[in-house]
C-alpha cells in the first residue's frame, strides 16, 4: 500500500504498511483498485457525453465510490470487493452503450476501462499496482493526487446534496473529466489548470449543498447547544448527512430515546427544522478522534453517517453498539442501507438504545453556534459598525479539521492568545480546539462564530464576499481577514482549492503541509497563492497582526 492523502500520513510522507488511521494494507489497495475502475467508467462517460448519450445511471455511484475512499470513511474490505464488482458491471454496461452508439474502443487506452476480475485473488493481485506510486514523476503524481483528493471532497458534498434531491450536472461532468485527466499524459501546467477548475467546482458543490440544506431545513440561526446529558437512553449520531439525522429524529420521536450529535453533526442543532424535536438533546463530546474515549461513556448506540471513524480498541466497551450508513463502513459494525424510495429503517438502533442506560455526563453547560451566512448578514450592521469603530480589528478564519497530532495544540494556544478585538470565523471540526474556551464577545458578537460543518466554509467565503461589497474594496485580500486553516482529510483539500479559486491569498495551512505536495508543486502554491505553513502561536500572531 501507499497512501499520503491525509495530514496524519506516516512521517509526513506516506503510509506504507498500515494507515495511521487504521486502514489495512489490503483495504488501501482495494480502494486504489476501485478508483482505477471508476476512472475507466469516467472514460466512457466522457466519450458518451461527446456523443450526447451520457445517462445518469452512474452519477450517484461515482460519488459514493469516491466518498468511500475518503480518510476514515470506510474500512470494510467486503464492501470494497462488492463495490469493485458493481463498478466493473456498470462499466461494461457503459462500454456496451458506447459501442452501440458507434463508439470505437481504440479511443480508450486506459487499462481501467477494460481490465476485469471475477475473484478476490484476481483483484488483490492487481490492486497493489494501480495506486499512487504507479505515476513515476513526483510532480505529476502530486498534481494528479491533489486533483483526486479535491474530487473526493467534492463528491462527499455533492452526495449529501443529492440525498436531499439537489443536483448540478456540471459537477458530474467535471468529476468525469477530472478522473480521466489523472490517467492522461498531461503536462504539469495542464494539471494545474485542472486543479484550479476543481476549486471552481468545489465552490459549486458547496453552494449546491448549502442550498440543499437551507432549502430543506431552513437557514442556520444563533443557537445555544446543550453539551450535558439527560436521563433517557440516547443514540449518538456522527458524520455530516442531515437527511440521515432527519430520518432518525422522525423515527425516534415519542420512543423515549434521545438523540445527541457528535463531532461534525453538532451544527445540525442550528437548523430550524430540527429544533422542533424535543428529544434532540444536545451535543455529546468533541471532535472525531476523541470518540475512542467519549464513546466509552455514552452507553447507547452510535450511528456514523460518514467519516470520521476511528477503529475501536479491541476491548472497547462500545464495539457492538456502532452502526454505519451511507458511504461509511467498518468490519463488525452493522450497516444500514436505504431501500430505494424509502426512509432508512433505523428501528434496530432505536430498539438497541432502549436496552441501554442513559449516557454518562462528560461535560456540562452549553455552546453557541449558527453563524452561517444568513445569520451573519442579519447581524451585518452590528458587525460593520464594530469594524468601523475599531472594536473588531481582524477576523481570523480558523476553519477545517481537527486531528490527533500534538501539534494541533497550537490552535488552542493561538485562539487563547488572540487579542480581544479579534473574532474567529470557524467551520468544520477544527472548532473543537477552542469552541469551549471563555473567549467572550465584542459588543454582543461572540468571538467564535461557528458557521457549521466543514462544507459551511462556503458560508465564510460568502461572508467575506459580502464584506468586500460593504467595504467597497476591490480585492478580497484587502479585507481585515486572516486565513489560518487546519486540515486533515480530503474535504479540507476541496475547501482549500475553493478558497484559492475565489482569489483568497496567503492562506496558512497546518499543522503540517500536505505530504502529497512535491517540492515543485509546493513552490507553485507558495509563489502563486502565498500558501504558507504555521510556526509558533506567538510568532504567527505577531506576523498576522502586523501584516
Helix, strand and coil content of the chain, in percent to the nearest 5, comes to: 50, 10, 35
Which residues partner with 396 through β-bridges?
Answer: 424, 482
| Spatial distance between the Cα atoms of 541 and 547, rounded to a whole number of angstroms | 10
Which of ligand SF4, ligand FS2, none binds 6 (CB below 5-8 Å, type-dependent)? ligand SF4
Q: Indicate the SS3 state at residue 325.
A: strand
| Spatial distance between the Cα atoms of 495 and 202, rounded to a whole number of angstroms | 7
Residues 6 or more apart whose CB falls under 8 angstroms from that of 351 comprise none
- Please report whether residue 6 would count as binding ligand SF4 according to CB under 6 A: yes
Q: Smallest gap, in angstroms, from Cβ of residue 403 to ligand FS2? A: 7
The three grid cell numbers given for residue 155, joined into one nine-digit string: 463528491
Q: Smallest gap, in angstroms, from Cβ of residue 141 to ligand SF4? A: 14
Which DSSP letter does residue 357 get?
P
Which of ligand FS2, ligand SF4, none binds 3 (CB below 5-8 Å, type-dependent)? ligand SF4
The three grid cell numbers given for residue 340, joined into one nine-digit string: 430505494
| Spatial distance between the Cα atoms of 502 and 495, rounded to a whole number of angstroms | 11
- Please report whether residue 511 would count as binding ligand SF4 according to CB under 6 A: no
| 96 alpha-carbon distance from chain centroid | 35
Among the listed ranges 13-21, 321-329, 348-356, 360-368, the one in contact with ligand SF4 (CB under 6 A) is 13-21
- Please report whether residue 9 would count as binding ligand FS2 according to CB under 6 A: no
Which of ligand FS2, ligand SF4, none binds 263 (CB below 5-8 Å, type-dependent)? ligand FS2
Residues listed for the chain: 547
| Spatial distance between the Cα atoms of 410 and 431, rounded to a whole number of angstroms | 13
Region label for 293, one of left (φ > 0), alpha (ψ between -120 and 50) or beta (otherwise): alpha
Pattern 274-313, binding to ligand FS2, x per CB under 6 A?
--------------x------------------xx-----
Among the listed ranges 7-15, 94-102, 258-266, 427-435, the one in contact with ligand SF4 (CB under 6 A) is 7-15
Pattern 388-427, binding to ligand FS2, x per CB under 6 A?
-------------x--------------------------
Q: Pairing mode, if any, of strands 234-238 and 441-442?
A: unpaired
| Spatial distance between the Cα atoms of 429 and 287, rounded to a whole number of angstroms | 6
Positive/negative CA dihedral, 472, 473, 477, 478: negative
Q: Smallest gap, in angstroms, from Cβ of residue 496 to ligand SF4? A: 16
Residues 445-474 that bind ligand FS2 (CB under 6 A): 453-454
Please identify which residue in 182, 219, 263, 325 interacts with ligand FS2, judged by CB under 6 A: 263
Q: Would you say 4 or 395 has its CB closer to ligand SF4?
A: 4
CA angle in degrees (0–180, nearest 5) for 171-175-180: 150
Q: Smallest gap, in angstroms, from Cβ of residue 371 to ligand SF4? A: 30
- Please report whether residue 145 would count as binding ligand SF4 according to CB under 6 A: no
Please identify which residue in 20, 356, 522, 532 interacts with ligand SF4, judged by CB under 6 A: 20
Q: Would you say 245 or 513 has its CB closer to ligand SF4?
A: 513
- Please report whether residue 23 would count as binding ligand SF4 according to CB under 6 A: yes
Q: Would you say 202 and 495 are in contact if contact means Cβ atoms under 8 Å apart?
A: yes
Biggest alpha carbon distance in the chain? 69
Q: Indicate the SS3 state at residue 491.
A: helix
Please identify which residue in 220, 312, 428, 452 interacts with ligand FS2, judged by CB under 6 A: 428
Please identify which residue in 47, 71, 238, 299 interacts with ligand SF4, judged by CB under 6 A: 71
- Please report whether residue 27 would count as binding ligand FS2 according to CB under 6 A: no
Residues 180-219 that bind ligand FS2 (CB under 6 A): none
Which of ligand FS2, ligand SF4, none binds 214 (CB below 5-8 Å, type-dependent)? none
Lookup result for grid cell 455530516: 240
| Spatial distance between the Cα atoms of 195 and 173, rounded to a whole number of angstroms | 15
Please identify which residue in 429, 451, 497, 507 interacts with ligand FS2, judged by CB under 6 A: 429
Give whole-number Cα distances, 165 to 147, 172, 217, in Å: 26, 15, 13
Among the listed ranges 17-25, 51-59, 421-429, 539-547, the one in contact with ligand SF4 (CB under 6 A) is 17-25
| 529 alpha-carbon distance from chain centroid | 23
Which of ligand FS2, ligand SF4, none binds 54 (CB below 5-8 Å, type-dependent)? none
- Please report whether residue 32 would count as binding ligand SF4 according to CB under 6 A: no
Q: Would you say 10 or 470 has its CB closer to ligand SF4?
A: 10
| Spatial distance between the Cα atoms of 397 and 362, rounded to a whole number of angstroms | 29
Which DSSP letter does residue 400 get?
B
**Which helix (H) or strand (E) is 528 found in, with range?**
helix 519-529
Please identify which residue in 8, 159, 489, 540 interacts with ligand FS2, judged by CB under 6 A: 489
- Please report whether residue 132 would count as binding ligand SF4 according to CB under 6 A: no
Q: Would you say 253 and 352 are in contact if contact means Cβ atoms under 8 Å apart?
A: no
**Which residues sit at the interface with ligand SF4, rule CB under 6 A?**
3-6, 8-9, 15, 19-21, 23, 28, 71
Point out which residues bind ligand FS2 (CB under 6 A).
Answer: 240, 263-264, 288, 307-308, 401, 428-429, 453-454, 488-489, 491
Amino acid at each position: 500500500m501507499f497512501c499520503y492523502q491525509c495530514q496524519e500520513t506516516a512521517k509526513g510522507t506516506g503510509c506504507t504498511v498500515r494507515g495511521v488511521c487504521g486502514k489495512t494494507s489490503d483495504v488501501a489497495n482495494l480502494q486504489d483498485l476501485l478508483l482505477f475502475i471508476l476512472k475507466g467508467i469516467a472514460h466512457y462517460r466522457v466519450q458518451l457525453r461527446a456523443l450526447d448519450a451520457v445517462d445518469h445511471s452512474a452519477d450517484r455511484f461515482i460519488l459514493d465510490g469516491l466518498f468511500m475512499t475518503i480518510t476514515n470513511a470506510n474500512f470494510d474490505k467486503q464492501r470494497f470487493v462488492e463495490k469493485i464488482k458493481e463498478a466493473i458491471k456498470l462499466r461494461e454496461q457503459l462500454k456496451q452503450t458506447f459501442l452501440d452508439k458507434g463508439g470505437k474502443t481504440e479511443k480508450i487506452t486506459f487499462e481501467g476501462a477494460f481490465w476485469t476480475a471475477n475473484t478476490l485473488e484476481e483483484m488483490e493481485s492487481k490492486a497493489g499496482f494501480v495506486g499512487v506510486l504507479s505515476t513515476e514523476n513526483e510532480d505529476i503524481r502530486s498534481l494528479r493526487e491533489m486533483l483526486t483528493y479535491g474530487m473526493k471532497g467534492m463528491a462527499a458534498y455533492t452526495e449529501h446534496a443529492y440525498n436531499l434531491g439537489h443536483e448540478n450536472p456540471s459537477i458530474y461532468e467535471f468529476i468525469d473529466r477530472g478522473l480521466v485527466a489523472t490517467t492522461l499524459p498531461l503536462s504539469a501546467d495542464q494539471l494545474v489548470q485542472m486543479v484550479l477548475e476543481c476549486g471552481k467546482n468545489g465552490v459549486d458543490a458547496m453552494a449546491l449543498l448549502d442550498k440543499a440544506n437551507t432549502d430543506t431545513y431552513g437557514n442556520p440561526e444563533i443557537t445555544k447547544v446543550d453539551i450535558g446529558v439527560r436521563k433517557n437512553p440516547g443514540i449518538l449520531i456522527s458524520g455530516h448527512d442531515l437527511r440521515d439525522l432527519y430520518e432518525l429524529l422522525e423515527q425516534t420521536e415519542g420512543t423515549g430515546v434521545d438523540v445527541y450529535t457528535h463531532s461534525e453533526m453538532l451544527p445540525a442543532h442550528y437548523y430550524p427544522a430540527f429544533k422542533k424535536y424535543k428529544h434532540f438533546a444536545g451535543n455529546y463530546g468533541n471532535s472525531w478522534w476523541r470518540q475512542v474515549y467519549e464513546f466509552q461513556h455514552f452507553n447507547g448506540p452510535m450511528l456514523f453517517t460518514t467519516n470520521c471513524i476511528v477503529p475501536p480498541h479491541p476491548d472497547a466497551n462500545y464495539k457492538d453498539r456502532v452502526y454505519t450508513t451511507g458511504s461509511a463502513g467498518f468490519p463488525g459494525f452493522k450497516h444500514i442501507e436505504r431501500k430505494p424510495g424509502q426512509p432508512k429503517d433505523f428501528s434496530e438502533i432505536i430498539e438497541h438504545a432502549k436496552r441501554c442506560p442513559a449516557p454518562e455526563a462528560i461535560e456540562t453547560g452549553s455552546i453557541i453556534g449558527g453563524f452561517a451566512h444568513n445569520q451573519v448578514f442579519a447581524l451585518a450592521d452590528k458587525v460593520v459598525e464594530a469594524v468601523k469603530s475599531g472594536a473588531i480589528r481582524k477576523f481570523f478564519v480558523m476553519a477545517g479539521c481537527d486531528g490527533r497530532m500534538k501539534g494541533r495544540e497550537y490552535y488552542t494556544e493561538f485562539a487563547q492568545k488572540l487579542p480581544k478585538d479579534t473574532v474567529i470565523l470557524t467551520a468544520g471540526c477544527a472548532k473543537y480546539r477552542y469552541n469551549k474556551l471563555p473567549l467572550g464577545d465584542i459588543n454582543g458578537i461572540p468571538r467564535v462564530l461557528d458557521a457549521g460543518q466543514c462544507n459551511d466554509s462556503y458560508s465564510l467565503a460568502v461572508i467575506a464576499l459580502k464584506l468586500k461589497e460593504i467595504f467597497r474594496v476591490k480585492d478580497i485580500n484587502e479585507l481585515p481577514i486572516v486565513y489560518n486553516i487546519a486540515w486533515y482529510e480530503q474535504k479540507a483539500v476541496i475547501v482549500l482549492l475553493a478558497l484559492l479559486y475565489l482569489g483568497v491569498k496567503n492562506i496558512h495551512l497546518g499543522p503540517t503541509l500536505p505530504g502529497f505536495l512535491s517540492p515543485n508543486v509546493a513552490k507553485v502554491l507558495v509563489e502563486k497563492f502565498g500558501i504558507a505553513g504555521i510556526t509558533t502561536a506567538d510568532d504567527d500572531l505577531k506576523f498576522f497582526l502586523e501584516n
